[in-house]
Amino acid sequence: MSAPVVNDDGLAAAVGRVAVLMGGRSAERAVSLRSGQAVLAALQRAGVDAWGIDWQDDLMADLAVRRPDRVFIALHGRGGEDGQVQGALEIAGMPYTGSGVLGCALSMDKIRSKWIWRSLGLPTPDFIVLDEADPVDDARIIGEIGLPLVVKPSREGSSIGVSKVEQAAELGPAIELARRHDAQILIERWITGGEYTLSIVDGIALPMIKLETPRQFYDYEAKYSSDSTRYLCPCGLPAAAEQSAAALGLRAFAALGARGWGRVDFMFDASGQPWLIELNSVPGMTDHSLVPMAAAQHGWSFEHLVLRILQSSFGART
């Protein structure tokens, strides 16, 4: 599918000097470095005056020295994807890519995302929240959620600390693993069916991708290392079903106050019902990442994609 394309040469000149933020201190540092380097190389190929900043020390001091015209955020995980960096850039008056403070904070927190979606009647799997001090009652959890289920830290990405639980004996170790990463954890009903993802860039829903892996689920290795993961785009859904899911994804995106770009993940059950799983406000941009694949199917080069994401940072922020 082709799409209207902005004039890349004109846009490259218009964006001015761009700092690409990558690295950071989260558990997703390694992935962020790969995303950031890919974005930086694409911007430079497009003729943009861009440079990378590997955030390890005083980020704002680094930015103050070179004072970019705008910032491309390629940080994943806490600190860079949860509203903290976005708030600092707001105070400094530096335009940046992606969602603002509220959208990033809500998107990063899987539990609060689901509370909002559920309050609006949007479909998301049943779940239980465990706080740090809550006792673990295996029988109650399994009785309420059923098996299989999935255990997740509330505020991690890239499936870090996530476990699929198929037998009662696996629940305790899964909770222990998740609690290493977050004091608040999510225990969610597992949806048996196909896994799909919707990329959104500058208000445009890109073609959906179906993910297939021989592993238990689409975990960290399947996302970033495995050559056995299959990415189907076109995704194979009937056109009407894909359009309906895209509309749901756009509603879920807007409900969390997201803007600019992001990726909504779904599970489809055996009846074809889509269930919202999570929203990524700064998706990966590596050679295994999903947004570039969807953009390519839409007719955009990687260079055009990063320029289009930058274009979405031009407006006033809230």
271: its two tokens: 């009846």
Q: Which of 35, 113, 158, 163 is catalytic?
A: 158
Other beta carbons within 10 angstroms of residue 192's beta carbon come to 10
59-66 and 84-92 are packed helices; what angle lies between their axes, rounded to 10 degrees?
40
For this structure, is 231 an active site residue?
A: no
Catalytic residue (choose from 29, 34, 155, 263): 263
Query: Cα–Cα distance between 150 and 162 in angstroms, integer?
Result: 7
> Is 163 one of the catalytic residues?
no
Tell me, yes or no, if 188 is annotated catalytic.
no
Q: Does the annotation count 157 as an active-site position? A: no
Within 10 Å of residue 189's Cβ, how many Cβ atoms? 19
Is residue 278 part of the annotated active site? The answer reads yes
Of 77, 257, 260, 284, catalytic: 284
Catalytic annotation, pick one of 96, 196, 220, 224? 224
Of residues 32, 35, 280, 289, which has the active-site annotation? 280
Q: Assess whether 218 carries a catalytic annotation.
A: no
Structure tokens belonging to residue 192? 């048996």
Looking at this protein, which amino acid is placed at residue 109?
A: D
Spatial contact of 221 and 67, defined as CB atoms under 8 Å apart: no
Let me know if 263 is a catalytic residue.
yes
CA distances from 113 to 106, 123, 157, 184, 258 (A): 6, 12, 14, 14, 11
CA–CA distance, 250 with 92 (Å, rounded to integer): 30
**Which residue in the list 82, 182, 219, 278 is annotated as catalytic?**
278
Is 256 within 8 Å of 113 (Cβ atoms)? yes
Give every CB contact of residue 42 below 8 A, 6+ residues apart in sequence: 302, 303, 305, 306
- Note if 221 is an active site residue: no
Report d(CA 12, CA 304) in Å as an integer: 10
The residue annotated as part of the active site, out of 24, 26, 28, 161, is 28
DSSP secondary structure code for residue 26 in this structure = S
Question: Which candidate in 265, 281, 303, 308 is catalytic?
Answer: 265
User: Which residues are catalytically annotated?
Assistant: 28, 158, 224, 263, 265, 278, 280, 284
